Amino acid sequence: MDSAWFQHCPGILVATSQEGAISGFNPEAERVLGAERVRGGSLFESVHPDHRDAVASAWAKMSEGEAWNSLCQMRDADGSYRAFSLHARRVSGRSEIYVTIVAMPQLSSGHLAVPPAEDLKSLPVIAPERVLREILDCLDLSVYVIDHQGTYLLHDGKGCRAGGFEPGTLIGRNLFEIFGADKDSMTDIQRALAGEPVHATAEAIDVLWESWFVPMRENSGEVVGMLGLTLAKSDVRKALVELRTKMELIERQEEVIRNLETPVIQVWEKVLTLPMMGMVDSQRVGRLMDDVLSAVVRTSARFAILDLTGVDMVDTATASHLFSLIRAIRLLGAEGIVTGIRPTVAQTAVTLGLDLSSVTTCANLREGLRLCIRRMAEENRGRRNEMDQ
């Protein structure tokens, strides 16, 4: 009864004789039921008179190893009757009966959620330790208790296996020696041992771990250890990895599409062409401007043909950006030529009131290319004549 687990357990634990005399209790029992009732008193004295006979009868008939569960009203430290769930078992080879007592919620009206005494035996009460056992065996949850030095006092739950350990194998070992390399988690645990509850998440061994670190205190308030609960979210981690992979694939596909949707092609020496198709928006034009201006500088282009044959429609903002691109090309010492303007695009430009008098336009890409070749030929002849003179 003096074990660390018994003394620091957050539940209400008592040990009694078959006559109900309390022979052992933990601090929580003293706090909830009252020191005067647990120190040398009888458990039956705390039970409501309507339920006392039923509890005493069950105690008297309880054989070695037998368990008994029920609901009843009991007096708390304030002297008021409250609803409690009793879960008792007689120890094999001894006459002691160990009792776990769980406080039940009160109804909103203030009445205790306890049935009449005659109905106690028919109620299917489930022991909380059984519920806890099912949770630990079915969920990827690990529950552990360490003392102030980091030594494991409890290590249980299916989630332990996700971390590479069988439940119970770490009891007596030191947490800081085993997991000391994980500095972030060790910092969170140190904070909990200093008295601060901590909720944290971390990724390790392809698993997303969500942890709660709860300080365990004496009645004086001194922290004597830590209760830890860690949930292994392997499915969440897998989903995150799959999502990240899909996002990376989408980004690569978008990059390919961006490269294909506005290819800058050198169709002749010092002549670039930019065939555009589909819907053109401001974002696409912004990318196009970066690509075209970089290509003009890289190739020392003399002409850049912007072919709009495949463009059926542009909005007003986009049309303005397109003609701004022509002006930007001119600032780099090249000439921008627009070919294949559709009627809808021309109408938008007129509606905007854009001054196109300085923009060279051709009916189609072939005519635009001929114009570039013709002008470059004229420029070459002019240079030769200058040299001959």
* CATH number, domain with residue 327: 3.30.750.24
Q: Determine the pLDDT at residue 314.
A: 72
Same domain for 120 and 104: yes
Same domain for 374 and 265: yes
Stated pTM of the model: 0.38
Same domain for 294 and 210: no
The answer for residues whose C-beta is within 8 angstroms of residue 237's C-beta and 6 or more apart is 203, 206, 207, 208
Same domain for 173 and 89: no
Same domain for 158 and 46: no
**Residue with token string 């999502």:** 243
Sign of the torsion formed by the C-alpha atoms of 54, 55, 58 and 59: negative
Q: Is residue 321 part of a domain?
A: yes
Q: Determine the pLDDT at residue 196.
A: 92
* Distance in angstroms (rounded) separating the CA atoms of residues 300 and 83: 89
Same domain for 272 and 202: no
**Domains: count for the chain:** 3
* Distance in angstroms (rounded) separating the CA atoms of residues 313 and 346: 10
Q: What is the DSSP letter of 79?
A: S
Q: Is residue 382 part of a domain?
A: yes
Q: Burial level of 64, CB count in 10 A (0-12/13-18/19+)?
A: exposed
Q: Read out DSSP for 204-217?
A: ETTEEEEEEEEEEE
Q: Is residue 191 part of a domain?
A: yes
Same domain for 308 and 384: yes
Residues paired with 98 in a beta bridge: 15, 89
User: Residue 322 has which token pair?
Assistant: 């397109």
Same domain for 287 and 225: no
Q: Determine the pLDDT at residue 193.
A: 93
Same domain for 117 and 19: yes
- Size of the chain, expressed as the number of residues it contains: 389
Domain boundary among 100, 125, 150: 125
Q: Determine the pLDDT at residue 227.
A: 92
Same domain for 278 and 231: no
Distances (CA, A) of 3 to 15, 24, 26: 13, 12, 10
CATH number of the domain encompassing residue 113: 3.30.450.20
Q: Is residue 67 part of a domain?
A: yes
Which domain covers residue 208, as residue numbers? 132-236
Q: Read out DSSP for 325-349?
A: HHHHHHHTT-EEEEE---HHHHHHH
Same domain for 168 and 65: no
Residues paired with 75 in a beta bridge: 81
For each of the chain's 389 residues, which pLDDT tens digit applies? 445 556 666 678 898 998 999 988 888 888 889 888 888 889 999 999 888 888 898 888 888 778 888 778 889 888 888 888 888 888 777 778 888 888 776 544 444 444 554 454 444 555 566 777 788 888 888 999 999 899 999 899 888 888 888 988 898 899 999 888 778 788 999 999 999 999 988 877 677 788 999 998 887 788 889 999 998 876 655 666 677 777 887 777 766 665 555 678 888 888 999 888 766 666 777 777 888 888 899 999 999 998 888 877 777 777 777 778 888 898 998 999 999 888 888 887 778 777 677 788 898 989 999 999 898 888 888 788 777 76
Domain boundary among 194, 219, 236: 236
